[in-house]
């Protein structure tokens, strides 16, 4: 492992937004508007609570706000497009008028993304890497918005059923390289592409830990790297192995574990970290960026 690899600085400018990515680590705050997400399902399902929490994430220092209306936890089931739109669009409409940072829509569906962009979102975060809906790539190209392409083995309903790789990093890197090429062919500018190796999406505990350790190997794809380890099962399972007890996502030890993984990710080249607890992560990011500098 190469420690503290040089991190390229990227500039993304679009619409009324611009992001300088890499000079410092950016923090993406998670706002799940779902009744069943693994960490905060149902907590911000009501409109008023979701808007208040979104504003708090911005006040805590988020650089990007990521809003999703469909759970992608292991073994989750897909919901209808109309329901996903009903969950996210009113919240985006309200928050877009109140916050100045970019809002990302976490969806695999072009119909949801279109309505979200119309409501004020300005980034598409697709866990399917533009594979699940052929129209999503065309929409991103037409609107000239940044896209986040994530690796997932299978679909949420099956991704954690005995995931296997002959060459973990090589296979994921090859997949992301192909999806970058596809996106460019569809008219999306490479300067607007961000990749996510998909921590927890079709990976075992060991797979996730290896990806964090070897994250620097993705740097030569020459796009920003986003990592989303927040409170995920591999952290809870690692703690269970060590301490011999179950850890729910709400336990403080799990957030401590998240901050440790965030630190390792930044030291190994991550440009953006996607988290639930923005306030704590901002402190972690400032300290680790200081070490890097």
Q: Greatest CA separation found in the chain?
A: 52
Catalytic residue among 114, 179, 236, 274: 274
Measured in degrees and rounded to the nearest 5, phi and psi for residue 146 equal -65, 150
Q: Is 252 left (phi over 0), alpha (psi -120 to 50) or beta?
A: alpha
> Where does the chain have alpha helices with state H?
47-59, 81-96, 110-119, 134-143, 168-185, 205-213, 233-243, 252-267, 278-292
Q: Pull the structure tokens for residue 199.
A: 């921590």
Residue 274 annotated among the catalytic residues of the structure: yes
Nearest-10 Cα torsion for 249, 250, 253, 258: 60
Residue 80 annotated among the catalytic residues of the structure: no
Sign of CA dihedral 202, 206, 208, 210: negative
Catalytic residue among 7, 173, 232, 236: 232
Catalytic residue list: 232, 274
């Amino acid at each position: 492992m190469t420690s503290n690899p040089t991190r390229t600085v990227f500039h993304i400018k679009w619409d009324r937004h611009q992001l300088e990515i890499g000079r410092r680590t950016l923090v993406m705050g998670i706002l799940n508007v779902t009744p069943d997400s693994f960490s905060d399902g149902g907590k911000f399902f009501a409109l008023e609570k979701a808007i208040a929490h979104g504003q708090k994430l911005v006040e805590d220092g988020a650089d990007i706000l990521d809003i999703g209306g469909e759970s992608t936890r292991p073994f989750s089931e897909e919901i209808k497009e109309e329901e996903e739109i009903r969950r996210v669009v009113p919240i985006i409409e309200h928050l877009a008028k109140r916050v100045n940072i970019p809002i990302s829509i976490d969806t695999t569906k072009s119909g949801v993304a279109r309505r979200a962009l119309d409501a004020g979102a300005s980034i598409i975060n697709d866990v399917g890497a533009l594979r699940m809906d052929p129209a999503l790539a065309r929409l991103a190209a037409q609107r000239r918005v940044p896209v986040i392409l994530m690796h997932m083995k299978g679909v949420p309903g099956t991704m954690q059923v005995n995931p296997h790789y002959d060459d973990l990093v090589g296979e994921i890197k090859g997949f992301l390289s192909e999806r970058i090429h596809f996106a460019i062919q569809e008219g999306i500018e490479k300067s607007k592409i961000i990749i996510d190796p998909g921590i927890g999406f079709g990976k075992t505990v060991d797979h996730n830990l290896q990806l964090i350790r070897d994250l620097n190997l993705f740097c030569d794809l020459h796009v920003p790297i986003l990592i989303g380890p927040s409170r995920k099962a591999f952290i809870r399972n690692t703690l269970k192995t060590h301490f011999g007890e179950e850890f729910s996502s709400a336990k403080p030890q799990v957030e401590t574990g998240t901050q440790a993984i965030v630190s390792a990710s930044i030291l190994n080249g991550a440009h953006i970290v996607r988290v639930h607890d923005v306030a704590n992560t901002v402190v972690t990011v400032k300290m680790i960026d200081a070490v890097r500098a």
